[in-house]
Amino acid sequence: MSTKIPITCVVGTRPNFVKMASIIDALRRQGSFEVQLVHTGQHYSPEMSEAFFEELELPEPDVNLNVGPGTQTEQTAEMMRRLEPILSSQRPEEVLVVGDVNSTLATALVASKMGIPIIHVEAGLRSFDRGMPEEINRIVTDALSDSLFVSEPSGVHNLLAEGIPESRIHFVGNVMIDTLMRFREKASRSRILEQLGLEPRGFAVTTLHRPSNVDDPGSLRGFVEMLGRIAGRVPVVFPVHPRTVGRIQSAGLDTTGLILTPPLGYLDFLHLMSQARLMLTDSGGIQEETTILGVPCLTARENTERPVTIQSGTNRLVGADPGRILSAVWEELDRPFSTDHKTPELWDGKAAVRIAQVLEHHRQPMAVLT
């Protein structure tokens, strides 16, 4: 008899919804696993919860921890406190975590202390910048994990350099790309361009969420003013979190010319990205998605934990200085648009299937948490 598989899905963290959709689908098709979904409630909002579950065909959560917002420490501690009795009740033989968010770290810590083996999907990514909370989450989770599934070759190199035995590392490809390929045709039926009055390849899209870019009033002012200049040449769509909207308003920043929207559903945003002339982001997941879509991506950071997106030629690091970013934007807009790109190894839509096959080979019941 198989043990139920608790799955923690991180609310409000868009990439982990996307990754988990592929994993759950593959586990269902494999037929050997009984999946239970546990929802932490991290960064809860209807736009980034119910809509994502429906669009990505995720099952309704069996358990909702309702943790809600808080500081990094508050969230992690509260998730650990609420998660422990769930794992104690289910007592799975393994726990699988995805990505690098607070839920990932909290789950890994609880499972480790309870003696439950841990599987980490998207292991080994490193920005080598410990000022990023996600970097700490990655390092600690990987150190605690027993089986590590890697999305790109750099992850294998990083884990080996950190002393992880090769026998525990599995290079399987990128589950986020699995979901993109699975839903791309469905996303193409989105009416988001018509709703926003946009023409294909005639607009730019930006997303900003890292504290270093949006929490500091000076940095946020510089970004908004820079986006206004870009909007003088091409429309700029800015799906913005309500918290960031509040910061823009409290600082009295002028958003004239920008197309501000609430956080978009997965299908609308995928179609928006696929038709954009240019992406400007500080998101790791968008660096990956634009690599497959062949859309130029300028990453407003000094580093990336996903170097394969640069090697493929679609992603460029442009830092956080508005002047430097603006120069890169003008350079990109001045060159002819081309979707030519190199697809990274094993980014073929079958990563989650490979994960399920490895788990099936081990024939062990497990719990899946992201």
Q: How many residues does the chain have?
A: 370
Does pTM surpass 0.85? Answer: yes
Helix (H) or strand (E) holding 272: helix 266-275
DSSP string, 173-198: --HHHHHHHHHHHHHTT--HHHHHT-
Instruction: Give 343's DSSP letter.
Output: P
Query: What pLDDT sits at residue 213?
Result: 78
Q: How far is residue 114 from each of residues 75, 78, 105, 120, 123, measured CA to CA in Å?
A: 20, 17, 14, 17, 21
Strand pairing category for 315-317 and 297-299: parallel
Q: Is pLDDT above 50 for 365?
A: no
Q: What percent of the chain has pLDDT above 90?
A: 63
DSSP helix/strand/coil, 237: strand
Structure tokens at 339: 């979707």
Average pLDDT estimate for 92-110: 90
Query: What pLDDT sits at residue 274?
Result: 97
Q: Does 209 qualify as catalytic in the annotation?
A: yes
Q: Is pLDDT above 60 for 299?
A: yes
Q: Is pLDDT above 80 for 57?
A: yes
Q: Which amino acid is at 338?
A: S
Structure tokens at 243: 């918290």
Average pLDDT estimate for 215-231: 91
Average pLDDT estimate for 100-123: 93
Q: How far apart are CA 274 and CA 227, in angstroms?
A: 20
Q: Which of 209, 241, 271, 341 is catalytic?
A: 209
Q: Is pLDDT above 90 for 216?
A: no
> Quick check: 76 and 106 in contact, CB under 8 A?
yes
Per-residue pLDDT tens over the stretch 34-52: 777 777 876 555 555 667 7
